[in-house]
Amino acid sequence: MPPFITLPDLTNWPTTQSLFSPPARLAVIGDPIAHSRSPQMHNPALAACDIPASYIRVQVPVGQVKHAFTLFQDAGFLGVNITIPHKFEALDAVDHIDPAAQRLGAVNTLAIRDGKLHGYNTDGPGFLRSVQEAFHTSLRDLRILMLGAGGGAGRAVAVQCALEGCQRLVLANRTPEKASHLATELQSIAPQLPISILPWDPAHLLAELPHIDLIVNATSLGMKTEDAPLIPPQSLTSQHLVFDMVYRANGTPTPLIADAQLAQAQTADGLSLLLHQGALSFEHWFNRPAPLEVMRQALIASLNP
């Protein structure tokens, strides 16, 4: 099986389909896409459930999502996951949008049923499940600091926090205008929610973090060793919960997670989010519970030490 196929391969599906056994019926799209670990998670789940289908990666250029969805439909696919940078484009490329996806402002899961394209978002609900599993608490009980207030999964998580009625939400972003725009949006969703915008610098973070329960990194910082620290390490305590939406392919902790562990804080990383949003996608496609432990162990095994 090739690491990924391209849009021309999808266009020439009668020839391309012979590369896959069982037949490819599910996919993840992005640009780039070779790094995605979704196949390592979903193919064992399909096998465990005796579903004769393969899950593949397809690299799709920006501006071609609607065309790709039509090709998937014509090829008999059951569903597609959508990752960076296509989640917003996918919102306008489906026939029916789940109300939660509409509120979250992006589509990351496509289900093809009865000749129609149904769009869902599992990032926000997946984050909710991840927090409940990792920290045994609910978002509604927490004062939350979001590092990064931009689009994609980070925006979906911020909206989910507002929908759940968290105690307080603090947005820190390198571009204050983006944080202000998101705050205005969130206030329309949850008018009673206390929302603050925090300048992202060590002094303001040091002053704010004693009043925060859950810290969420919604940026891409932490994938590389040379990335700058997100927050002053001395500001972390054992009372904090730290959720880094980033994870490293070699299984080592990100700098934020490493600092949090030194402070004896509870932690979770992006692998947990990938697991739970993937399980929710599986449930949308097959209307049955996902084999969560099979998916978890497959993801862990996919990490490169």
Comparing CA positions, the residue from 247, 241, 254 lying closest to residue 275 is 247
CB count within 10 Å of CB 262 equals 10
* Residues 23, 48 contacting (CB under 8 angstroms): no
CA distances from 112 to 98, 99, 209 (A): 13, 17, 44
Residues 64, 58: Cα–Cα separation, whole Å: 12
Residues 138, 124: Cα–Cα separation, whole Å: 13
Residues 89, 106: Cα–Cα separation, whole Å: 8
Alpha helices for 34-144 (secondary structure H): 38-48, 65-74, 87-91, 99-104, 123-135
CA distances from 221 to 172, 217, 218, 257 (A): 14, 8, 9, 12
Is residue 66 flagged as an active site residue? no
CA max distance for the chain: 60
177 burial type by CB count under 10 A (0-12 exposed, 13-18 middle, 19+ buried):
exposed
Helices 38-48 and 270-286, packing angle to 10 deg: 40
Catalytic residue among 87, 116, 178, 224: 87
Residues 249, 221: Cα–Cα separation, whole Å: 14
User: ∠ at Cα 142 (134, 221), nearest 5°?
Assistant: 65
- The catalytic site residues sit at 87
